[in-house]
Amino acid sequence: MSKDIRIKKGLDIKLVGEAEKTTKPVKASSFYVIKPEDFHSIIPKMLVKVGHKVKAGQAIFHSKLDEALLFPSPVSGEIAEIVRGAKRKILEIRILADATQEHHDFGKKEVAKMSGDEVKAHLRATGCWPFIKQRPYDVIANAEKSPKAIFVSGHNSAPLAADLDYVLAGKEAELTAALTALTKLTDGNVHVATKKGGNSPLANVAGTVSHTVSGPHPSGNVGTHINKIDPVNKGEAVWTVTAQDLVIIGEVLLTGKFNATRTIAVTGSQITNPAYVTAIAGASIKDLVASNINLDNTRIISGNVLSGKQQAEDGALGYYDNQVTAIPEGDDYEFFGWNKPIFNKVSTSRAFTFSWLTPNKKFDLNTNTNGEHRAFVTTGTYEEVFPLDIYPMQTLKACMYADLDEMEALGMYEVAPEDFALTEFVCVSKQPHQKIIREGLDLMLKEIG
Amino acid sequence: MSLKSKLHDIKEKYKGTKMAPAFNALHTFLYLPNETTHNGTHIKVADDLKRTMNTVIMALVPCLIFGMFNAGYQHYLALGEIEAANGFFGASFWSFDNLILGAWQVLPLVIVSYGVGLAVEFLFAVIKGHEVEEGYLVTGMLVPLIVPIDIPLWMLSVAVIFGVVIGKEVFGGTGMNILNPALTIRAFLFFAYPTWMSGDKVWVHDAVNRDQLIAAGENVDAISGETLLGFYAKSGQELTIAGTNGGSEIITTYGDRAADLYSYWDMFWGLIPGSVGETSKFLIIIGALFLIFTKIGSWRIMLSTIIGALAMGLIFNGVVGAGWIQESSKFFGLMNVPFWQHLIIGSILFGAVYMATDPVTAAQTNKGKWIYGFLIGFISIMIRVFNPAYPEGVFLAILLMNVFAPTIDHYVIQGNVKKRMKRLKVKTA
């Protein structure tokens, strides 16, 4: 049962600094940082103290609400520092890596012979559970509930995103093992969507339902696939896993080692030679970009320009991220910037903005908001870049006035903040859509659960 | 020190004070601010609300300039000092004299509209501590275009204050209002000062003044400035025109007189009396195409309004055709107007292109826009035909539909909600 999904509404933002398809060697980081805020809504309870030695894969904290939800150290080394903020909230756990990495041995498993419960228990014990997220609410999956389906996106359509066909090449064994494990976790289907015309090792794995997608961003967003294939209804849950995390899960199953190594795309106009590097989750960004970056007034982002997180110069790669982007800061005034003709910025209108003349041009966009924050005024612009069968502006407004019934009716169970990244990008009123949706989801999680 | 850094220093100095919004409003007109994104998307589109509003203003400029020429042209034509222009490029229309007189009358309207309106906006921004929002940029331009040329400036000021405060600021400012502020201003004028907003004396410059002089016994020629709608509304009635410069009296009907005075092309080009900026259908269509091309105006609303107007026009033509209405009826004149002609008389096109499309007060869903626009067109023509006192219904129809737009959206969105509920039922069944 293979389906072809064609997305018409959307927008490809073409930027300067796409990664060249070569993997460059970089020196391994000596410091790794785990940020509990990467795991949304989790309150960490530490299992280790400063000075403790840990192996890669060994748990360093668990969720306050669920002792069996373990978060592993990506490397072996010593806990160097636990950075706390207001009310002693844990902001960062810094780990000084050993020169030679030691992995905790979880034992090899033969997935095909395992039951669903065994798979679940093993993934939780090995610290792989945080890779499995759920909709509704876009948080780490609730293991007590069985999902109606599991979705994996094998296509990343975000600006400058890592080409999954490239980074997954040669990982067939791990991917197959992990997908087989996922099929045990649900009574429904495991849906895998890959780029039409691509050559993905994820396509046509036995036991999964393969789909192909085409069209502009967000055609690669898993939220788009869920909406088109099997939307989430009230009371239901679907789980999602990113393709690169499947490799980590697969390796745990095949070798017994937790190895959070990914191929990372280092991209953006401030990067001298954009290319791929291999790095472990939590690695210091300084080591990834080395001397390959222009640091003069630069925004460093872990992730892509639409949904990534801003990092300081000495920041770290996010736990889930497979991309680092560096773009110029836009903290300067522009004379008559609001009415002069604009050729060097992206726009979806044609109001003396001329990006429609050059559809293939790659733009060097900066972080300027290009205008001030306003109330919602224009209509119809979001719908042009929003392929889900949901009313975006009405949903955002429902979140802003916190009407739970309306949020539920309008389809909040189906969405994640990243689904509203493009509407936020095109917003003339410069509203923070992703934040509004995140706060709306948090409210629902708290009130409805 | 450059201007840029000087202004930056002033901005930092006044940050957080009461006057900050007022300064920022002026500052951001000169410079796009240095604000950067935080979290969420790190990049943003080039467009902001100022650019959006500015695009609408640009679409209105041709109408404004034409309105100035037309003001002078109608005045001199009524006095018999110039020949009727032959087509859009007629020499007697684009004359310097017309422009001077028109500019002298129209520019004060523009200045008062912007001056008073923006003063109210700044005041509210400073009191409430929010930034000055751009909504009034378009409203301020629309207002002078939809009033009679000779309207006293104090009246305009009172109406603008009413429109901005009651029409917009009490709801929370740009983006929150229910009624179109420009039309609120128009409606206020219409109901507060009806003698200045209707009849056959207000549409041509100096007509009112001369009427008063004649009443005072002075020997000047009267100017009549009936709009076409006025003519058509009374088309069967007899009309006596006093001879000017010693000519003999002419006895005719209003309908025949309109046909004598104006051809369809005159109506299309806009060489007719009316509110300042709404007469030239040609320039409105150009403005509409510009708005649609720039994706600022909603083509759905424009198109569906026209369809609605034509539909109502056809129904009325059908009523006349079927013989259900007598020629003596006071509604016969406008009902008998061929349906397509409704588009070139009155201000239906101006309303459809610049008023109905206001995104804040229009329906917000794409399906809703079709319904909303259609009903505006439909009701506009209905009011036009059935309102004996004032044969133009566009602004009333748009205000009415402004009120109903959220209801239309509600039912459109319920369609989406029901789909979701149905999906859930199928699953659980």
Strands in A139-140's sheet, in edge-to-edge order, are A3-6, A209-214, A189-195, A149-154, A238-242, A133-135, A139-140
Residue A282 has pLDDT above 50, yes or no: yes
H or E stretch covering B230: helix B228-233
A103 phi and psi, to 5 degrees?
-110, 135
**Quick one: how many helices (H) and strands (E) in chain A?**
10, 21
Rounded mean pLDDT, A39-50: 92
Higher pLDDT, B86 or A436: A436
Question: Rounded CA gap, B346 and B358, in Å?
Answer: 20
Nearest to B28 among A350, A355, A372 (CB): A372
Interface test with B, best of A370, A399, A434 (most B CBs within 10 A): A370
Rounded mean pLDDT, A297-325: 92
Higher pLDDT, B233 or B88: B88
| Cβ–Cβ below 8 Å for A367 and B43 | yes
Q: Where are the domains of chain A?
A: 20-26+263-328, 31-97, 107-255, 369-447
CB proximity list for A145: less than 8 A, separation 6 or greater: A237
CATH value of A31-97 in 2.30.30, 1.20.5, 2.40.50, 1.20.1450? 2.40.50
Rounded mean pLDDT, B406-425: 91
Identify the closest residue of chain A to B4 by CA–CA distance: A333
pTM of the model: 0.91
- Chain A residues with CB inside 8 Å of B169's CB? none
Q: Return the pLDDT at B31.
A: 84
| Cβ–Cβ below 8 Å for B360 and A377 | yes
pLDDT in tens, B147-180: 988 889 999 999 999 999 998 988 888 888 999 9
Closest CA of chain B from A371, distance in Å:
5
Q: Return the pLDDT at B229.
A: 77
Closest CA of chain A from B358, distance in Å:
8
- Which range of B72-81, B186-195, B365-374 scores highest in mean pLDDT? It is B365-374
Interface test with B, best of A354, A377, A405 (most B CBs within 10 A): A377
Same fold, A31-97 and A107-255: no
**Cβ neighbours, 10 Å, residue B58:** 18
Residue A407 has pLDDT above 60, yes or no: yes
Domain A20-26+263-328 in CATH 3.40.50.720? The answer is no
| Cβ–Cβ below 8 Å for B416 and A390 | yes
Q: Enumerate the H helices of A151-305 as residue ranges.
A: 164-167, 172-185, 222-229, 243-255, 285-289
Closest CA of chain A from B80, distance in Å:
43
* Neighbour-count burial of B181, counting CB atoms closer than 10 A to its CB (0-12 exposed, 13-18 middle, 19+ buried): buried
| Cβ–Cβ below 8 Å for A409 and B423 | no
For chain B, give the percent of residues with pLDDT over 70. 96
Nearest to A333 among B4, B49, B362 (CB): B4
- Chain B residues with CB inside 8 Å of A228's CB? none
Residue B244 has pLDDT above 60, yes or no: no
| Cβ–Cβ below 8 Å for B41 and A376 | no
- Chain A residues with CB inside 8 Å of B33's CB? 333, 369, 371-372
Nearest to B32 among A325, A329, A334 (CB): A334
ipTM of this predicted structure: 0.89
CATH value of A107-255 in 3.40.50, 3.40.720, 3.50.50, 2.20.25? 3.40.50
pLDDT-derived band of residue B90, with 50, 70 and 90 as boundaries? confident
Comparing C-alpha atoms, which of A131, A147, A139 is closest to residue A244? A131
Q: Which residues pair with A310 in a beta bridge?
A: A301
| Cβ–Cβ below 8 Å for A347 and B417 | no
Residue B247 has pLDDT above 70, yes or no: no
Rounded mean pLDDT, B377-387: 90
Residue A252 has pLDDT above 60, yes or no: yes
Residue B95 has pLDDT above 50, yes or no: yes
* Neighbour-count burial of B60, counting CB atoms closer than 10 A to its CB (0-12 exposed, 13-18 middle, 19+ buried): buried
Question: Rounded CA gap, B52 and B54, in Å?
Answer: 5
Q: Return the pLDDT at B1.
A: 61
Nearest to B366 among A368, A371, A380 (CB): A380
**CA A213 to chain centroid:** 19
Nearest to B413 among A327, A330, A391 (CB): A391
Rounded mean pLDDT, B90-95: 86
| Cβ–Cβ below 8 Å for A375 and B4 | no
Q: What is the longest distance spanned by two Cα atoms in chain B? A: 90
Identify the closest residue of chain A to B25 by CA–CA distance: A372
Identify the closest residue of chain B to A15 by CA–CA distance: B43
Q: What is the mean pLDDT of chain A?
A: 91
Q: Return the pLDDT at A200.
A: 86
> What's the DSSP call for residue A283?
B
Structure tokens at B368: 């809703």
Residue B246 has pLDDT above 60, yes or no: no
Q: Return the pLDDT at B245.
A: 58
Higher pLDDT, A91 or B205: A91
pLDDT in tens, B292-322: 999 999 999 999 999 999 999 999 999 988 8
Closest CA of chain A from B147, distance in Å:
26
| Cβ–Cβ below 8 Å for A353 and B49 | no
Contact predicate A102/A124, CB 8 Å: no
**Ordered DSSP codes for A32-67:** EEE-GGGSTTPPEEESS-TT-EE-BT-EEEEETTEE
Q: Return the pLDDT at B183.
A: 93
Closest CA of chain A from B271, distance in Å:
30
Structure tokens at B81: 């000092």
SS3 track for A208-248: CEEEEEECCCCCCCHHHHHHHHCCCCCCCCEEEEEHHHHHH
Kindly give the pairing relationship between strand A59-63 and strand A90-97: unpaired
Contact predicate A414/A232, CB 8 Å: yes
pLDDT in tens, A346-360: 988 888 888 888 888
Q: Return the pLDDT at B120.
A: 92
Nearest to A428 among B39, B52, B293 (CB): B52
H or E stretch covering B327: none
Q: Which residues pair with A66 in a beta bridge?
A: A63
Kindly give the pairing relationship between strand B250-253 and strand B238-241: antiparallel
pLDDT in tens, B13-66: 888 787 788 888 888 888 888 888 887 899 999 988 989 999 999 999 999 999
Identify the closest residue of chain A to B173 by CA–CA distance: A375
Rounded mean pLDDT, B231-239: 74
| Cβ–Cβ below 8 Å for B51 and A348 | no
**Ordered DSSP codes for A8-34:** -S-----BS-PPEEEEE--PPPSEEEE
Nearest to B44 among A325, A409, A430 (CB): A430
Interface test with B, best of A333, A381, A399 (most B CBs within 10 A): A333
| Cβ–Cβ below 8 Å for B47 and A347 | yes
Closest CA of chain B from A1, distance in Å:
20
- Chain B residues with CB inside 8 Å of A411's CB? 416, 420
Identify the closest residue of chain A to B177 by CA–CA distance: A377
Q: Return the pLDDT at A1.
A: 47
Residue B375 has pLDDT above 70, yes or no: yes
Contact predicate B381/B342, CB 8 Å: yes
| Cβ–Cβ below 8 Å for A335 and B55 | no
Q: What is the mean pLDDT of chain B?
A: 87
Question: Rounded CA gap, A390 and A347, in Å?
Answer: 23
A355-391 burial: b if 16+ Cβ within 10 Å, else e? beeeeeeebebbbbbbbbebbbbbbbbbbbbbbbebb
Residue B353 has pLDDT above 90, yes or no: yes
Q: How many residues does chain A have?
A: 449
**Cβ neighbours, 10 Å, residue A83:** 12
| Cβ–Cβ below 8 Å for A336 and B30 | yes
Contact predicate A94/A24, CB 8 Å: no
Closest CA of chain B from A426, distance in Å:
5
Comparing C-alpha atoms, which of A418, A154, A164 is closest to residue A276? A164
Contact predicate B45/A368, CB 8 Å: no
Q: Return the pLDDT at A356.
A: 86
